[in-house]
């Protein structure tokens, strides 16, 4: 999907000014790409319609960078298609929070409820308990015990009893023993049938779960969407955990779920290992589909105040960890009419505000910073590591500031360099992990 969409953009890029028919052609390509990726037909059609309407706006066609604008629109619409915001698991004000896992056989309920329990234990310091309500095969109970043991999460079971009773007893046990997050691992079947739905409805009516999370297999494409729709209509679900995202090269199921069912994807399973689970971030997913990471946003932002080529070069240098003080100086100049560096860096994937503290730039300090860099030789700007004490003194004298002030700037710059390096390796490892998409 990523490849196809980039190719549509490439055709646009080779254009300069765009006409309505250029956009129509590009949208045709994107529509094909979506359909090939197994995106629901109506979802694809509506998506193209919205993007076309927004993109053929006269203001955009006449803007200096129409292609970038179109890409931006596609990105925004993708994010909204995927659900907009990240949706978290609802936590009950009266513990325990009860999460009922539902889904067809093999979708990934058992493994992913254990993964999810471990994730929330780590992220939110919860005390999870797994309850074995899939009673039809002894192996299913055993499987839950095995994953529970691997993650050191307790499992409540009563063998092959009545799943409704087991659920009730499990929740009582949790309440008495201070577990604040209960996962009900229910039975699945190969196909949706009334008996399965009745059992799930009974459990739902009896224990009144805080959330019903439907687990669907991303590799089944549009079937996953149909399953979600059917479960939602029959049982009512609160969110979707899409498993096996690592195996879904096309990405179509993830794109359609929210639009078709109105229920958000809350988590994704990304592999067989018990750590392979992530909260679902619509914006990151959209970037992944467009194949350009948030670096594109960074470039776009920069483009507002200086030309695209230069911005692309700067972003590339940043990603390569090769930012020099000369670049830094240029940035400072441009930043006067752009957002802050902090904001720009914040657009790179996975950056947290704390990491930025060292690179924070006080607007009032900017004049000093400029003066200091101006007093440096080009050699020093490109290779700050050669700046020893006597050079620092010379620079300080040159700009009428103190050696401490020179030191401070160099430290800030170092922090920024270190961080961009971290970002690069982060972006690389993410890129590797997500190449399948």
Task: Give whichever of 15 and 189 is closer to Mg ion, judged by the CB atom.
Answer: 189
Q: Which does 108 bind (CB under 5 to 8 A by kind): ligand GDP, Mg ion, none?
A: ligand GDP
Is 106 annotated among the ligand-binding residues?
Answer: yes
Single residue of 67, 270, 412, 420 touching ligand GDP by CB under 6 A: 270
Single residue of 40, 52, 75, 112 touching ligand GDP by CB under 6 A: 112
Residues in the chain: 437
Strand order of the β-sheet with 277-279 is 155-156, 128-133, 181-186, 97-102, 211-217, 239-243, 265-269, 277-279
269 counts as binding ligand GDP under rule CB under 6 A: yes
> Nearest approach, Cβ of 197 to Mg ion (angstroms)?
17
Compute the Cα dihedral for 389, 395, 400, 404 and give only its sign.
Answer: negative
Radius of gyration over every alpha carbon of the chain, rounded to an integer in angstroms: 27
247 counts as binding ligand GDP under rule CB under 6 A: yes
Q: Evaluate whether 288 touches 434 at the Cβ level (below 8 Å).
A: yes
Site stretch for ligand GDP (CB under 6 A), options 11-19, 241-249, 334-342, 423-431: 241-249
> Nearest approach, Cβ of 104 to ligand GDP (angstroms)?
7
Single residue of 142, 272, 343, 362 touching ligand GDP by CB under 6 A: 272
Is 336 annotated among the ligand-binding residues?
Answer: no
110 counts as binding ligand GDP under rule CB under 6 A: yes
Task: Give whichever of 246 and 294 is closer to ligand GDP, judged by the CB atom.
Answer: 246
Other C-beta atoms within 10 Å of 100: how many? 28
243 counts as binding ligand GDP under rule CB under 6 A: yes
| Rounded distance between C-alpha atoms, residue 259 and residue 312, angstroms | 34
| Rounded distance between C-alpha atoms, residue 281 and residue 268, angstroms | 9
Is 132 annotated among the ligand-binding residues?
Answer: no
Stretch 208-227: interaction string toward ligand GDP, x if CB under 6 A: -------x------------
Single residue of 108, 221, 264, 282 touching ligand GDP by CB under 6 A: 108
Long-range contacts of 67-73, Cβ-Cβ distance < 8 Å, separation of 24 or more: 67/9, 67/12, 67/13, 67/15, 67/18, 68/300, 68/303, 68/308, 70/9, 70/12, 70/18, 70/23, 70/26, 71/9, 71/12, 71/290, 71/296, 72/300
Q: Which does 166 bind (CB under 5 to 8 A by kind): ligand GDP, Mg ion, none?
A: none
83 counts as binding ligand GDP under rule CB under 6 A: no
Single residue of 25, 50, 192, 271 touching ligand GDP by CB under 6 A: 271
> Nearest approach, Cβ of 185 to Mg ion (angstroms)?
6
> Nearest approach, Cβ of 186 to ligand GDP (angstroms)?
9
> Nearest approach, Cβ of 216 to ligand GDP (angstroms)?
10
- The alpha-helical segments, DSSP class H, found in 325-402 are 325-335, 341-346, 353-356, 366-374, 378-382, 389-399
Q: How far is CA 292 from each of CA 31, 44, 74, 300, 323, rounded to the nearest angstrom?
A: 19, 21, 13, 12, 20
| Rounded distance between C-alpha atoms, residue 229 and residue 260, angstroms | 7
Q: Which does 299 bind (CB under 5 to 8 A by kind): ligand GDP, Mg ion, none?
A: none
- Contact residues toward Mg ion (CB under 5 A) are 109-110
40 counts as binding ligand GDP under rule CB under 6 A: no
> Nearest approach, Cβ of 321 to ligand GDP (angstroms)?
32
**Axis-axis angle for helices 138-151, 109-124 (nearest 10):** 20
244 counts as binding ligand GDP under rule CB under 6 A: yes
**Axis-axis angle for helices 308-319, 403-433 (nearest 10):** 90
Binding residue numbers for GTP: 103-110, 185-189, 243-246
Binding stretches for ligand GDP (CB under 6 A): 103, 105-112, 188, 215, 243-244, 246-247, 269-272, 276
């Amino acid at each position: 999907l990523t490849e196809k969409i980039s190719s549509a953009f490439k055709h646009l890029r080779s254009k300069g000014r765009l006409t309505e028919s250029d956009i129509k052609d590009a949208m045709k390509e994107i529509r094909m790409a979506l359909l090939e990726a197994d995106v629901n037909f109506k979802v694809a059609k509506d998506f193209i319609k919205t993007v076309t309407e927004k993109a053929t706006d006269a203001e955009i066609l006449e803007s200096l960078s129409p292609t970038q604008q179109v890409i931006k629109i596609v990105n925004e619409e993708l994010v909204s298609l995927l659900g907009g915001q990240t949706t978290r698991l609802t936590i009950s004000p009266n513990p325990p929070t009860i999460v009922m896992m539902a889904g067809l056989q093999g979708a990934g309920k058992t493994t992913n409820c254990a993964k999810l329990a471990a994730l929330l234990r780590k992220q939110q310091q919860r005390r999870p308990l797994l309850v074995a309500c899939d009673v039809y095969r002894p192996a299913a109970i055993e499987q839950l015990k095995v994953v529970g043991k691997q993650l050191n999460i307790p499992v409540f079971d009563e063998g092959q009893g009545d799943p409704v009773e087991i659920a009730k007893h499990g929740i009582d046990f949790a309440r008495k023993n201070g577990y604040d997050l209960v996962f009900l691992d229910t039975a699945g079947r190969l196909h949706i049938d009334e008996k399965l739905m009745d059992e799930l409805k009974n459990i739902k009516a009896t224990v009144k779960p805080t959330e019903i999370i439907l687990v669907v297999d991303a590799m089944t494409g549009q079937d996953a969407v149909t399953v979600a729709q059917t479960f939602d209509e029959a049982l009512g679900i609160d969110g979707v955990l899409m498993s096996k995202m690592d195996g879904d090269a096309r990405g179509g199921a993830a794109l359609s779920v929210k639009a078709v069912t109105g229920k958000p994807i809350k988590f994704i399973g990304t592999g067989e290992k018990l750590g392979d689970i992530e909260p679902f971030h619509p914006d990151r997913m959209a970037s992944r589909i467009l194949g350009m990471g948030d670096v594109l946003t960074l470039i776009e932002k920069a483009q507002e105040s200086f030309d695209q080529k230069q911005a692309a070069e700067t972003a590339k240098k940043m990603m390569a960890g090769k930012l020099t003080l000369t670049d830094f100086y240029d940035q400072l100049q441009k930043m006067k009419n752009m957002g802050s560096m902090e904001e720009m860096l914040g657009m790179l994937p996975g950056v947290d505000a704390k990491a930025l503290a060292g690179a924070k730039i006080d607007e009032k300090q900017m004049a000093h910073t400029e003066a200091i860099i101006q007093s440096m030789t080009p050699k020093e700007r490109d290779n700050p590591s050669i700046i020893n004490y006597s050079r620092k003194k010379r620079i300080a004298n040159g700009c009428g500031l103190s050696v401490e002030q020179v030191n401070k700037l160099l430290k800030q710059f170092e922090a920024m360099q270190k961080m961009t390096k971290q970002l690069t390796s982060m972006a690389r490892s993410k890129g590797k992990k997500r190449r399948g998409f």
